[in-house]
Structures are given as structure tokens and as C-alpha cells.
């Protein structure tokens, strides 16, 4: 048996192909690599999500990462570590630039690429694609 789902390059308008739930578990923040990628992804979700459906994703807590990275006097973002992970930045702090702010997070011996997500921008763009933010929750509350 096999199953399929529409690819990001195809969009559906038939109600039989719309989804009740669309989820992004590991790379939700990667849509903030560029404004174009963010808009393309939100457009895809909006076109393929049934009215009243849900879209959710997991990503690092950008607010916490920004806060911890800005401790210092230079415009360069500061690397930091915790007992579970280490964060290093591949960019410099640029006022008003909400896309392409890359950082690397090392945990479990592997390095993972991430992008900071500016939540006010995400919320604004979601509304442009008829998506409404219901909740932002830090997973740390569950552990």
C-alpha cells in the first residue's frame, strides 16, 4: 500500500484534497531563510488546509535565543552553551532584518542548521494568508 500527499509545487483547490492538519516537526524555522521561502510556505499551507483546519510546527525558541545571544557589547551575536546544547551564529545582528539569521545548534553530537523566527513578522504574514495564530508554547514547560 502507498500514500501520497501534494508536493509544495502543486496546490489543490478541490475540497477532497484539502487537509485537516498540516504539521512541520523539524524544519519549521527553515522557512525564515528568506522572505520568499516564508511566503511560499504559508501560501502552500493556506491553499491546502481545509477551512477550520490546523497548521503547527516545532522550532527553537527564537525569543530566548535572541535574548541570550545579544548579551554583549558588539553587534556580533554571541555564541552560548547550555548543559544540553551549544548555539553558534552564522550571521551578525542586523536591525530590521528578519530573514536569513542563521544559527547552528549542536546537541546529541550532531550540528543542526536553524533560523531565527521573528514572531511578529510570522503572525503578520500568517494573517495575509488567512491563517490565525492560536498559541505559542515553549516546550520547556512540558519537560
Band (pLDDT 50/70/90 cuts) for residue 6 is: very low
Taking alpha carbons only, the member of 119, 117, 130, 115 closest to residue 45 is 130
In 68-109 the beta strands, taken as DSSP E runs, fall at 80-81, 86-89, 102-107
Percent of the chain residues past pLDDT 90, beyond the cut: 34
Band (pLDDT 50/70/90 cuts) for residue 20 is: very high
Instruction: Say whether pLDDT at 85 is over 90.
Output: no
pTM, rounded to two decimals: 0.76
Give me the residues paired with residue 113 across strands: 104
Could you please state the CATH topology (level 3) that the domain comprising 15-142 is classified under. Rossmann fold (3.40.50)
Amino acid at each position: 500500500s502507498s500514500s501520497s500527499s501534494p508536493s509544495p509545487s502543486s496546490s489543490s483547490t478541490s475540497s477532497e484534497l484539502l487537509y485537516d492538519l498540516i504539521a512541520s516537526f523539524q524544519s519549521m524555522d527553515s522557512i525564515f531563510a528568506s522572505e520568499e521561502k516564508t511566503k511560499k510556505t504559508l501560501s502552500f499551507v493556506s491553499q491546502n488546509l481545509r477551512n477550520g483546519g490546523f497548521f503547527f510546527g516545532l522550532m527553537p525558541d527564537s525569543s530566548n535565543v535572541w535574548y541570550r545571544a545579544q548579551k554583549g557589547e558588539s553587534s556580533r551575536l554571541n555564541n552560548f552553551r547550555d548543559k544540553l546544547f551549544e548555539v553558534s551564529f552564522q550571521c551578525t545582528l542586523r536591525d530590521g532584518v528578519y530573514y536569513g539569521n542563521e544559527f547552528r545548534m549542536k546537541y546529541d553530537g550532531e550540528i543542526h542548521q536553524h533560523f531565527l523566527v521573528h514572531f511578529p513578522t510570522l503572525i503578520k504574514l500568517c494573517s495575509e494568508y488567512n491563517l490565525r495564530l492560536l498559541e505559542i508554547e515553549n516546550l520547556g514547560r512540558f519537560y
